[in-house]
Amino acid sequence: MRRYLLDTGMMGHFIDHRRGVDQRVREARQRGARIGTCMPVVDMQIAAIARALGNCTVVSSDSDLSDVPGLAVENWATG
């Protein structure tokens, strides 16, 4: 089985149906490929720093951070 890992730029094109990326993903899936994406490097650094500090809550509207086990995340942006 072929696997593809889309970086965040490609994910943006995929989500917004731009530049034919969504079509290529659909075709790859039809051939049995698995498609994945990664958490951006900066998000991983922020999560690592917060975990190393201990008792630290990350304030972000980025939903990627909610996937980090044991990381407290709050979204202060409302409306």
Q: What is the pLDDT of residue 58?
A: 93
Mean pLDDT in residue range 37-49: 84
Return d(Cα 36, Cα 11) in angstroms, integer: 9
∠ CA 5-10-12, nearest 5°, is: 125
Give the mean pLDDT of the chain.
88
- Beta-bridged to residue 35, according to DSSP, are 4
pLDDT surpassing 70 at residue 18? yes
pLDDT surpassing 90 at residue 27? yes
Mean pLDDT in residue range 21-42: 90
